[in-house]
Amino acid sequence: MFRPVPMQWITLLVLKDDTPDAAVVVARCGILDPDAAEWPNLLPDLPGKRFAELYGVARGYLDKILAHCPRSDDRPRLAGEMPDEAQLEALGAWLRTLWLQCSNCQESSRRAEEERSYVAQLVKMLDRFAVLGIDLGLLTRSRQFLDVHIGMMPSAHVARVREAVALAGYVLTPLTEERGVVQAVVAGPKGREAEVGAALRAADWEAARLPASLEDGPQAVRRRLLEHQDRVVAEANTRCRQVEMMRQEFGDRLVQAADLLAMAAPYAELGEVARGRGGLTQIGGWAPASELAGLRSALRDRFGSRFVLNARVPRPDETGRVPSLLRHSALLRPFAALVSNYGVPRYGEIDPTLLFAASFVIMFGMMFGDIGNGVLIAVVGALAARRLHGLAPFVIACGLASAGFGWAYGSVFGFEELVHPLWIAPLADPERMLVVALYWGIGFILVAGVLSMGNCIIGRRYRDALLDGKGLAGLVLYAAVLLGLRHQILGTGPGGVAWVTAAAALTLVFGYHWYQYSGKSAEGVLVAFAQSIEDVIGYFSNTLSFLRVAAFELNHVVLAAAVLALASMAQGRAGNWIAVVLGNIFIMVLEGAIVAIQVLRLEYYEGLSRYFGGSGREFRPLTLDRGGVPAS
């Protein structure tokens, strides 16, 4: 419960011809996380490399085709034969031709869209000229001394283009501007048309493709432009219809292709990992020690005695490579998701999920204690369990904790007089609330410190466990300073002894930081001093951070009182109740969310960051339905 599942390093030796089948058997068991084989120099061959490459190509095309024309059932059936290299190659070639048709459809749709927007701009330009009574034909006709360009470009380019064409003696005159596009005329003396043309092209200039003669009138030109646009759109539609027909025609073959690739995926995934020599292949990886018997039995069923399966416990130098498999009950899974959002524990390290869940729920209740709000949150969590996708236990637990602490505080939807507080009404003694929050914080940090030491010991970092600021020396320093402060403020407990102990612990922490620094000694003193100060400040700022646990509950009570005050001002009984209901909804949604975020903040920064590196690797077994493209 507090540690990742014990793993073993697995070495599976099979005949080279059996390797693809072995990959499927291993994937069906779903317990092996493949890793680079040992002694790569002794096993120079990569028997699955070509297969993985072919798979990658075919998979890439299939994914793109399915993204272009999705199927209703995307899940492969995971049955049938494993393809060989020749089949995969043929499948890749066939998928490529299909994809080219899809790609052409996409390209012609893009062009059609471009054309549509271009024609729309041009039609607008023609309309404006028609209103002004200007014959564009006059401008477009070829002249002996004058070179004229009519077209459009992004507004942002106008100033720069004007300066550029001026170098060739041209003038740019903007005509209209709409949605960041300017329609303009560029004119100048003939002789440097190529130079101006090049500058305009560089500026995204779209020349107006007007007919040489506009004598037919703007309406006829407009009609011809729209006809041209329709032709382009129709062409795009035809291409896409062809793709649709292809999809209907080859729908079944695409399903078969997906099935085939799903079967091929495990062996492809082993492409860079399975190594061999001669007729033998070795597959290496990590598997839970408790499930090896199942794998052995499945291999025996398929290959009889034609395999060798060896297992050993991970060596100390391999700890960083071993994946962490964490198994949690459905109740803990939402909390595990929050922990994995921070990081995955390294193999062997303490899994903080249970502690995280317990402290999260307790702090949520302490900060948002209200019987009414809590029960309502729990009921909503239970009723909406299906929609919450596994988050229901999290919501229900938070709701129940809120209700529990609400009973302790004697608060029901903000009414303080309905239930007698089991412990204390927060506003009756806010100081006591703050002191309790402070003690909670001290306890939380001490537990985090002990866990940090535990993780150091598990990772064989004994010096860190004893001498680091987050190790025993740091904890002693923290506890001694707390005792010293207690003596100073309250006059109880040890005084002198505490300060002497704190000074000794601080010296140890400082000395250890200095020892760890590899640079110049003068710099080392400075760095060690800064790190030691940071350690001390860190402990106490983190402790004070827990005052928010009480502050948010006090805030909740005050907010509820404000809602009730507003409700008392509302007219009539109905108005009063409406104000109470709306106020409580507001409190639950807004304050509930804020409290959840604050608790998460405390957990991450004051808790996990103290003892949890989160640099582990998640256990990702080879499975049939993983179907991912291999790393190659």
Q: Which residues bind to other proteins, rule: CB under 8 A?
A: 60, 96, 99-100, 103, 106-107, 110, 160-161, 163-168, 170, 192, 194-196, 198-199, 201-204, 320, 518-519
Tokens matching residue 148: 């004229």
Least spacing, CB of residue 530 vs other proteins, in Å: 11
100/590 with CB nearer other proteins: 100
As a three-state string, the secondary structure of 430-460 is HHHHHHHHHHHHHHHHHHHHHHHHHHHHHCC
In DSSP terms, 186 is beta-bridged to: 149, 172
Measured from the CB of residue 65, what is the shortest distance to other proteins in angstroms? 12
Q: How far is the CB of 239 from other proteins (least distance, A)?
A: 13
Task: With beta carbons less than 8 A apart as the criterion, state whether 390 and 38 touch.
Answer: no
CB nearer to other proteins: give 101 or 140.
101
Residue 460 Cβ, how far from other proteins at the closest point, in Å? 17
Looking at residue 313, the DSSP 8-state letter turns out to be P
**Nearer to other proteins among residue 60 and residue 343 (C-beta):** 60
What DSSP string describes 216-273?
T-HHHHHHHHHHHHHHHHHHHHHHHHHHHHHHHHHHHHHHHHHHHHHHHHHHHHTTTT
Q: Minimum Å distance from CB 204 to other proteins?
A: 7
Token pair recorded at residue 125? 């330009």
CA 47 to chain centre: 34
Question: By C-alpha distance, which of 455, 451, 437 is closest to 599?
Answer: 437
- In the block, which residue shows the tokens 């209200």? 370
Q: What is the DSSP letter of 535?
A: H
Number of H-type helices and E-type strands within the chain: 21, 11
Beta pairing partners, 12? 283, 309
Minimum CB separation from other proteins for residue 192, in Å?
Answer: 7
Residue that has been written with the tokens 């907010």 in this structure: 559
Cβ distance to other proteins smaller for residue 496 or 519: 519
3-state secondary structure of 37: coil
Secondary element (H or E) of residue 295: helix 292-303
To the nearest whole angstrom, how small is the minimum distance from the Cβ of residue 179 to other proteins?
A: 16
Query: Given the complex with other proteins, which of 141 and 201 has the nearer CB atom?
Result: 201
As measured in angstroms, the least distance from the Cβ of 195 to other proteins is 4
By beta-carbon proximity to other proteins, the closer residue of 129 and 170 is 170
* Shortest Å, Cβ 163 to other proteins: 6
| Of 269, 318, 378, nearest in space to 34 by CA | 269
Q: Looking at beta carbons only, is 131 or 522 nearer to other proteins?
A: 522
Nearer Cβ to other proteins, position 28 or 192?
192
Query: For other proteins, which is the closer residue by CB, 192 or 626?
Result: 192
Least Å from the CB of residue 236 to other proteins = 14
Query: 149 or 548: whose CB is closer to other proteins?
Result: 149
Closest CA to 508 of 548, 539, 464: 464
Name the burial class of residue 570, with classes exposed (0-12), middle (13-18) and buried (19+) by CB atoms within 10 angstroms of its CB.
middle
List Cα–Cα distances, 512 to 114, 508, 535, 610, in angstroms.
Answer: 67, 6, 12, 18
